[in-house]
Structure 1
Amino acid sequence: MTHPALPASLNALTLRAQLAAAIAKQGWDSPAARATALSHVRAALDRFRDQAVDCLSKSGGGALAAQALSDGMSVSLHALFDSMAAGDLDGSRGVSLCALGGFGAGELAPFSDVDLLLIKPDDGNAATDAFLERVLYALWDIKIDVGGGACRTIDETLEITRENASERTALLSLRYLAGDEAQATALASRFREEVIAGDKTGFVEAKLRERDARIEKAGRSRYTVEPNIKSGKGALRDLQLMRWLAQFLYGADAFERWVGSRLLSVDDVVKYVAADDLLWTIRFHLHALAGGKDERLTFDLQPEIAARMGFEDGEDESAVERFMRAYFRAAMDVGALTRLVCAKLEADAWKSKPRGLARFLPGEDPDETPDLGKFVLRDGRLDFANPTQIADDPVCLIRFFHVASSRRLDLHPEAVARIGRTLHHVDEKFREDPRAARAFFAVLLDSPAPMPVLRLMTEAGLLGRYIPEFGDIVARTQFNMYHHYTVDEHTLQALGILREIEDGLHPLDHPLTTRIMPLIKRRRALHLAVLLHDTGKGAGDQCIEGAIRARTACKRLGLDDTETELVAWLIQTHLLLSDTAQRRDLSDPQTVADFAAAVGTVERLRLLTVLTVVDIRAVGPGVWNGWKGQLIRDLYAATEQVLKSEGAGLERARETLADKARATRDKALPRLARINPAFAEWWAAELNDAYWVSFSEEDRFRHAAFARHVFETGRASAAAVRVDRRRAATEVMIWSPDRERVFADIAAALADMGADVVGATINTTVSGNVFDIFHIQDAAGQPYGREDTPKRDALVDYLRLVATGEFPVRRRRIMPMKHRDAAFRVEPFVSISNELAEHATVIEASGRDRPSLLADLADVIADENLSLTSAQIDGYGERATDVFYVTHLGHKLEDAAVTERLHAGLITVLSASETALDEKAAERGIARARASVLR
């Protein structure tokens, strides 16, 4: 047995000897000899793969492992080809085996494609074809699928590369492995002379367009929390493209020459090497855990890779979050280096110049001769006028970005690199300089599009250095399925959405914020609150810690005490509006009174509303929907009315809601009476005030039409559904006699039909019936059955039978068992309070979301003979938070024994999923990590 630590070349001697022995008597034509020979090749490849993995250390070693595996593959294929060619000299004549692509460049991951080319001689014959066929079958038998197109003459290969940019890229890394070396040399020479030399610029442009297409497919942001480490922005492909372009255009010593010419610094090269090593290390672990070619760093694999690479929990970050921060910092470094290389290509006319920042900004092109102050245009991009400019006046660092944004100019990458090398000038004196603050606020408040400018400041390292509180969240991740981006990217996205709302670009999605935005007086406070609202992440209570950090930052920026406290208040309460809107009964006077008291003024209400909307919108695609928008608008309207009136909060809230209920009844009654007077009188008295303040006029008349059908037909039960596009949900109306467990049964039936409940309004009528309204979505977050009428009809029939108790609901205890779900450990939480509502006890139950969770929780409540008066359903990725308003014998729950049993029962339901997932994860060997605080 060859020692596994020996170099690939020495291990190859053993393989060659084994192959020689296997075919010594009968040759490759013998099935038995062939099988034995190929088993030796497979064993050698396994040894080389193990050797490559042994190169990994906790901190890295991935680049060395990729090279080691490539070396092992190369010598194995060389030995195999030579052995087969020795037995068929005529068929192998003029055939050359070459490596292409990443393998040709000397890098290989455990399950990467092994790109090969078999060059055929121009005068090949039947013997040649037979030999190539035997080689291909041998490669397939050792699990290397090269495809039929891998056998070509030189002319055929060149013709293909002229038409296909990907083929041209692969051939640029052509490396001879075995056979006729002259053929490989001839192909490489003719390729450069006939394909590349005539249009290097066109070739570079094609490669960069190919990169754009790749990134568009993988996702344009490099800050998504489940990145593609091969094809994503700032990932391995970008590193490889950068190196290939440098070596192709400038030679193998391109990086050294660039350092000599000061395009790159030694630190830049160090960052390149470190990023390359980190990404290859991750890729090796990723392939090993996935058991195949998987390039996406998904949630379920992140904890295990973090553990393998030696990351440990810190005081304010878990091991997996520290690991992902290291990844995103590397991705930022790759982005900065890519910009530098592209600037070099532009300067040398290998690629055309982009329009820079102007492509992000609205309006016309910048003036031909803009006023640049103390800066200059170089190659169409903004640059510093001289090398000592920053040292002479460090404030020009921020002014540089202000000029770029106001003049819509892209930044010269050498200027960005210079900023990175001079960040030591950004000290406490700099941070407290009023001139720096003025320049910063000009960027924040006056830029036509602040998000891309602030992102460039972040990637250059300046924004985090100038505002250390923001610097603490740069590249920070939160290990949960709710957030789609790193914390800093989420913040910048929120600022971008804020500017869009200011510009009136979302009147349909955000009618309320569009209307109130021009009324806001403290615009600077709002923008600062958005910028700083998540700076408390990972440090205890994020709202309290964020407010503390905001006070420090605002004082340093020169704000007075009043404005500073307003920013701190906004950050400390930035979750209050969304929590109240989505988790509380908005028809309860206590809810509105408490919220109005916490807000205090209409100006603060406006500020908090806008902050809440942009915060939710910036979480990621699909998180904001019409349902959340309507809840926020309802709470805003009720609160604004209380704040604009005089009197005690709770008393005024009661009056406000009572007035609204009376007004809506009075308005509806004549219209209903014109159709059926008896029904109108009955319906107006059948429901309490809570119903009449919970819905719009359109909703109320639709509900009345449903109830009138029940009234006129005398039916005991009925159900109806409609797609509510305004709320992005399907509305379900159910009428039935009241009975024990009716809500739990309906919730179970909805879960059984694959519906996700996002809202529920429960009404018990004077006549002893229930009129419940549910809003449901499908698994994709879309209105349930929106394009499927038969599906909705089947739901109606099922619900009507279940509501009356005529048909036992199919209760399914469905546990999520996907690998991705198993990655998170979601801690259950239950609170039971008599302080949050005027006439009910409020139960908040939070834990892993799953089908039938709402029904199971409702069962526990029913077991204690509690009456359910309202329910609010909310979800954050893997976590659900369900809130129930209940009474016990007509009053708030005061019985300690019942409260204790209720708490224990709810915790048991919420913990069931975690127990099942712990067992499943143990079976699969999956590491689990606690999900981070969601918001």
Structure 2
Amino acid sequence: MSDLFDHLDHRRAIIDRRALSGRLDEIAAETSDTGKRRRAVVALLREALDAGRAEIERRLLDHPSAGRLAANATAFLIDQIVRLSHDFTTHHLYPASNRTAGERITVIAVGGYGRGEMAPHSDVDIGFVTPFKQTSWTEQVIEAQLYTLWDLGLKVGHSSRSVDEMIRAAKDDLTIRTALVEARFIWGDRALYDQAAARFDAEVVAGNARAFVAEKLAERDERHKRMGDSRYVVEPNVKEGKGGLRDLHTLFWIGKFIHRVRTVPELVDAGLLTTRELRQFARAENFLLAVRCHLHTLAGRAEDRLTFDFQREIAQRMQFAERPGKSAVERFMQLYFLHAKSVGDLTGTFLAHLDEQMAKRGRRFLPTLRRRPGKLNGFVLDRGRLALPVDDFFQRDPVRLLEIFALADRYGLEIHPQAMRQARHDAKLIDGRIRRIARANDLFLDVLTSPRDPETVLRWMNEAGVFGRFVPDFGRVVAQMQFDMYHHYTVDEHTIRAIGLLSDIEQSRLTDDHPLSTAIMRNLHSRRTIYVAVLLHDIAKGRGGDHSVLGAELALRVCPRLGLSEAETETVSWLVRHHLLMSATAFKRDLADFKTILDFAQIVQSAERLRLLLVLTVVDIRAVGPGVWNGWKRQLLTELFDAAEEVLRLGHKQKGREARIASKKEAVAAQFGFGDAVFQALAKRLPESYWIAEPVEVIAANLLHIRQAGDAPLHIAAVPDDDRGATLVMVLAADHPGLFYRIAGGIHLAGGNIIDARIHTTRDGLALDNFLVQDPLGRPFAEAGQIQRLTRAIEDALANRQKLLPKLEARALPRARAEAFRVAPSVFVDNNASNRFTVVEVNAQDRPALLNQLAYALFQSKVTVHSAHVATYGERAVDTFYVTDLIGDKIDGAVRVRGLEKRLLEAAASRSEDAVAA
């Protein structure tokens, strides 16, 4: 046996193979019945397996960060189980006293098992190797042993090949070739194993290193792309994700294939890792293995995605404690991302060593773009990459730690991994004195506001640790996650992505998505103001207070140091303080209520601030993650911008109420497509408030809807609206109490999510309700079958054909794993936000029945809903209602307000059928 498991203490406490072997001999002696023997063996080995796993878990809980020990112990346990089952099979079930040359067999471990690293529910990857084509005896032995392992509940990945077949398969298949790189002898004929290993080295490995490296790196890139191509996604895959265990494995496979090393430490002797990098490798691998072992244990199965519902429990098992401004789970995940970053650093330097070893003279093994810049200010080019002339180049002038990135940006160069490694090592040279040097700040600002590719270079700077050292407040949010389902990335990754999006907008690469922002970026008074604002907008997260307020104060200190003027500093500070204002106003308030626009404009105060705030809001939302931005948000932000810009420019609306109504009627008449008499007859049925509230295209659709309804008591229509990214659902019905909550329930039952709603009453007493609805993936309902299902569900709900709430609550949560979060419900009643309405905002945990229950609570409170606006932020829903009492007055009595708040809080918190009677 190798020394792979020599470091494990008290191995017999995990499993005592000698004692179990004696007991197996006793079982064989007790009965000759093969069936009884097999059942007794499985029972004994299962008991030993369960006891061994329990002992390993106990050790892991005692030392929750000792991932390698737990992984090695599990592999050791499985080794003994495989050996015992093999011995019993060959000695007692199918003994062969006089074997031929072909009746030999060796059992090998491959893949992670071969490496000696197994999480509790990892596959048991084994191979049975025979010298020639299988004989009936070897077939019987292999089949019997596999059945024993399967009966133990092990998930076995297996192969049965002759030595020739093994060599052919390894040559043909990269996966098999990789698995065999880590092959390890477990039991059986040792001489046969040595023969197979020697042939693998001579016929598969020798002379094929270049091809293997190229294939493994291509495989890695494809895996990264498949897993999201970022090591900073907030639900990472511990094994396959970028910065995960598989990246470390790839380095080892490459090193092993090239240099035939047996263990990771031997990579130092091979020149592919330094001693310091070996320690970095060991720390990252140990931590990631620990996380994976805890994950398997909690899941009770092979699970490698570190989802929200496991993160909190693993943080607790690994003994992370809360700190001011950071929960235990956020501290745990920050350490996870720092280790993932460390894996990325290792990969870069490892590949640089590899490049040096495998490249032909004057060329590179790994391709790159070749540039010929002019001045390099003392830096040199090494086969097209920016490199250092001497190792102490940064120590002689630490400002060069910033200059190397500025040069890389200016000339479109890659930075040599050895230079990146030296930058990581020397980043500590950046102190308060260096941060005050004007040249250093100019270089940093050059990169931040680069017209080329600031996102890539800032990410390099962040990976080298230079970013966080030069802007220490940014260093505090490096690898910091936000434990919610809304943000997809860590704070630093979100910020760098936002800067990249800002650059894309400025360079007109996103004109179709953001025409207004693109036009604004062409005419800004100060480019660097918006770039610095994007850099600082989330920089105070995790400090235990309002990050907008804290960030604004921080901006007043950072901006002058970066070289911004007093006016620019004030603007950046204001933008950071109010960077959530525009989205909160657009998504949670009624933009048809002029008081909303006036209040917003009063805070903004200048057209330049408005323009900057729009661009900041757009990149902030888009950088949250894929699928967060949509056409509806674009339309709301544009509508708010246009209205506020008009007020800021003129000091009032350009047109009075009557003029606006007349203008809308004229525009609608042009779209309506029917005669003037028909238009006028329909228009008279709609009150003035309706004409103010709805946009032209919705009014045109409503008029057509009313005309089609005729005298019908109920008419429902649904029209996909690609501009808004939603479907306009129109309901014309006899007005009666409870209409809104029933319609909402029907829409939810059909799988729709309501993102906006307006409730109107025609002059002849009918209810005209408009809902904007999306499917669960944030898209419009567009297919005929979907629309038919939607309208039928609303009809059933209005006819009270079925109990709404039980069906709603039977539906799955709109987002998987939302149960991992707890959002404390809150209700805010505001009588100052509107001149005509009481504005009620409810914050609660998102769930299918929520809007229906809130609407029912308003119905019970004898409140009339005039409009509803729904915003979701991951697991958190924010529903805003513009309401009056039944005679159209605000709800301002203290007792009435408290009663309304109490009822809505109960509805927001309730998951039971008691919350709604219908």
Which range, TM-score by smaller chain?
over 0.9
**Alpha-carbon distance, 1:301 to partner:** 0.7
Q: Which amino acid aligns with 1:449?
A: D
1:288-303 to structure 2, matched below 5 A, reads: 288-303=297-312
**Alpha-carbon distance, 1:669 to partner:** 4.1
Q: Determine the C-alpha separation between the residues in 2 that align with 1:536 and 1:914.
A: 39
Instruction: Provide the secondary structure at the position in 1 that maps to 2:323.
Output: coil
**Alpha-carbon distance, 1:6 to partner:** 4.1
**Alpha-carbon distance, 1:623 to partner:** 0.6
**Alpha-carbon distance, 1:160 to partner:** 0.5
Q: Determine the C-alpha separation between the residues in 1 that align with 2:289 and 2:913.
A: 35
Q: Is the 8 A contact 1:762 1:771 kept in 2?
A: yes
Say whether 1:626 aligns with 2:636. no
User: Which range is displaced more, 132-141 or 794-803?
Assistant: 794-803
Q: Which amino acid aligns with 1:892?
A: K
Q: Is the 8 A contact 1:749 1:809 kept in 2?
A: no
**Alpha-carbon distance, 1:250 to partner:** 3.3
Q: Which of residues 417, 427, 430 is equivalent to 2:431?
A: 427
Distance 1:257 1:287, change over 3 A: closer
Q: Which of residues 813, 825, 840 is equivalent to 1:828?
A: 825
Q: Which amino acid aligns with 2:704?
A: A
Q: Determine the C-alpha separation between the residues in 1 that align with 2:239 and 2:865.
A: 52
Say whether 1:514 aligns with 2:523. no
Give the match for residue 4 of structure 2.
none
Q: Which of residues 533, 538, 555 is equivalent to 1:529?
A: 533
Q: Determine the C-alpha separation between the residues in 1 that align with 2:454 and 2:9.
A: 56
Say whether 1:790 aligns with 2:799. no
Say whether 1:643 aligns with 2:633. no
User: Bigger relative contact order, structure 1 or 2, given CA contacts below 8 A and separation 6+?
Assistant: 1
**Alpha-carbon distance, 1:767 to partner:** 2.4
Distance 1:253 1:144, change over 3 A: closer
Give the match for residue 728 of structure 1.
725
The TM-score, its normalising length taken from structure 2, stands at: 0.93
Give the match for residue 505 of structure 1.
509
Instruction: Provide the secondary structure at the position in 2 that maps to 1:763.
Output: strand
Q: Is the 8 A contact 1:4 1:51 kept in 2?
A: no
**Alpha-carbon distance, 1:224 to partner:** 0.6
Q: Which amino acid aligns with 1:543?
A: S
Instruction: Provide the secondary structure at the position in 1 that maps to 2:842.
Output: strand
Give the match for residue 705 of structure 1.
704
Instruction: Provide the secondary structure at the position in 1 that maps to 2:414.
Output: coil
Distance 1:350 1:202, change over 3 A: farther
Q: Determine the C-alpha separation between the residues in 1 that align with 2:120 and 2:819.
A: 25
**What does the per-residue CA deviation read over 1:225-280, in whole Å, with 9 as the maximum and x for residues that have no partner?**
11100111110111122223234323538866776899755443222211111111
Say whether 1:133 aligns with 2:143. yes
Say whether 1:662 aligns with 2:662. yes
User: Which range is displaced more, 822-831 or 444-453?
Assistant: 444-453
Give the match for residue 227 of structure 2.
218
Q: Which amino acid aligns with 1:846?
A: N
**Alpha-carbon distance, 1:679 to partner:** 3.2
Overall identity of the aligned pairs, in %: 37
**Alpha-carbon distance, 1:641 to partner:** 0.9
Distance 1:105 1:82, change over 3 A: same
Say whether 1:776 aligns with 2:773. yes
Q: Is the 8 A contact 1:749 1:811 kept in 2?
A: no
**What does the per-residue CA deviation read over 1:144-200, in whole Å, with 9 as the maximum and x for residues that have no partner?**
3445x6111000011001011110111011111111111111111101101110211
Give the match for residue 172 of structure 2.
163
Q: Which amino acid aligns with 1:734?
A: V
Q: Determine the C-alpha separation between the residues in 2 that align with 1:123 and 1:514.
A: 69
Q: Which amino acid aligns with 2:42?
A: L
Instruction: Provide the secondary structure at the position in 1 that maps to 2:404.
Output: helix
User: Which range is displaced more, 380-389 or 152-161?
Assistant: 380-389
Distance 1:370 1:815, change over 3 A: farther
**Alpha-carbon distance, 1:837 to partner:** 0.5
The TM-score, its normalising length taken from structure 1, stands at: 0.91
**What does the per-residue CA deviation read over 1:284-309, in whole Å, with 9 as the maximum and x for residues that have no partner?**
11001111001100111111111000
Say whether 1:275 aligns with 2:284. yes
Distance 1:166 1:182, change over 3 A: same
Q: Which of residues 107, 129, 148 is equivalent to 1:97?
A: 107
Q: Is the 8 A contact 2:134 2:162 kept in 1?
A: no
Say whether 1:235 aligns with 2:244. yes
Distance 1:123 1:59, change over 3 A: closer
Q: Which amino acid aligns with 1:112?
A: S
1:389-788 to structure 2, matched below 5 A, reads: 389-539=393-543, 540-646=545-651, 652-653=652-653, 655=655, 659-669=659-669, 675-710=674-709, 713-784=710-781, 786-787=782-783
1:335-354 to structure 2, matched below 5 A, reads: 335-349=344-358, 353-354=365-366
Q: Is the 8 A contact 1:826 1:914 kept in 2?
A: no
Distance 1:906 1:842, change over 3 A: same
Q: Determine the C-alpha separation between the residues in 2 that align with 1:80 and 1:624.
A: 57
Q: Determine the C-alpha separation between the residues in 2 that align with 1:127 and 1:236.
A: 39
Say whether 1:181 aligns with 2:175. no
Q: Is the 8 A contact 1:347 1:379 kept in 2?
A: no
Instruction: Provide the secondary structure at the position in 2 that maps to 1:348.
Output: helix
Q: Which amino acid aligns with 1:578?
A: S
Q: Is the 8 A contact 2:451 2:503 kept in 1?
A: no
Q: Which amino acid aligns with 2:750?
A: M
Q: Which runs of 5+ in 1 are unaligned?
A: 357-364, 647-651, 917-935
Distance 1:123 1:736, change over 3 A: closer
Say whether 1:814 aligns with 2:809. yes
Give the match for residue 114 of structure 1.
124
Give the match for residue 895 of structure 2.
897
Q: How many residues are paired up? A: 893
Give the match for residue 46 of structure 2.
42
Distance 1:573 1:378, change over 3 A: same
Say whether 1:323 aligns with 2:332. yes
**Alpha-carbon distance, 1:714 to partner:** 2.7
Give the match for residue 160 of structure 2.
151
**What does the per-residue CA deviation read over 1:734-780, in whole Å, with 9 as the maximum and x for residues that have no partner?**
11222211111211221222211011122222222221110111222
CA RMSD for the aligned pairs?
2.5
**Alpha-carbon distance, 1:884 to partner:** 0.5
User: Which range is displaced more, 760-769 or 810-819?
Assistant: 810-819
**What does the per-residue CA deviation read over 1:528-552, in whole Å, with 9 as the maximum and x for residues that have no partner?**
1111110121231111011112222
**What does the per-residue CA deviation read over 1:899-931, in whole Å, with 9 as the maximum and x for residues that have no partner?**
111101111111124999xxxxxxxxxxxxxxx
Q: Which runs of 5+ in 2 are unaligned?
A: 1-7
Q: Is the 8 A contact 2:533 2:575 kept in 1?
A: yes
Instruction: Provide the secondary structure at the position in 2 that maps to 1:401.
Output: helix
1:352-367 to structure 2, matched below 5 A, reads: 353-355=365-367, 367=371
**What does the per-residue CA deviation read over 1:775-832, in whole Å, with 9 as the maximum and x for residues that have no partner?**
1112222213x23x133124324435655x6767734451777671221111111100
Distance 1:123 1:891, change over 3 A: closer
**What does the per-residue CA deviation read over 1:869-901, in whole Å, with 9 as the maximum and x for residues that have no partner?**
111111111111110111123211122221111
Q: Determine the C-alpha separation between the residues in 2 that align with 1:4 and 1:47.
A: 16
Q: Determine the C-alpha separation between the residues in 2 that align with 1:797 and 1:102.
A: 54
**What does the per-residue CA deviation read over 1:482-529, in whole Å, with 9 as the maximum and x for residues that have no partner?**
111111111111111111111112222222212222122121010111
Distance 1:808 1:308, change over 3 A: closer
Instruction: Provide the secondary structure at the position in 2 that maps to 1:825.
Output: coil
Give the match for residue 926 of structure 1.
none
**What does the per-residue CA deviation read over 1:381-422, in whole Å, with 9 as the maximum and x for residues that have no partner?**
211222222122111111101111222211111111111111
Say whether 1:884 aligns with 2:881. yes
**Alpha-carbon distance, 1:694 to partner:** 4.5
Distance 1:689 1:528, change over 3 A: farther
Q: Which amino acid aligns with 2:696?
A: E
Q: Determine the C-alpha separation between the residues in 2 that align with 1:11 and 1:830.
A: 62
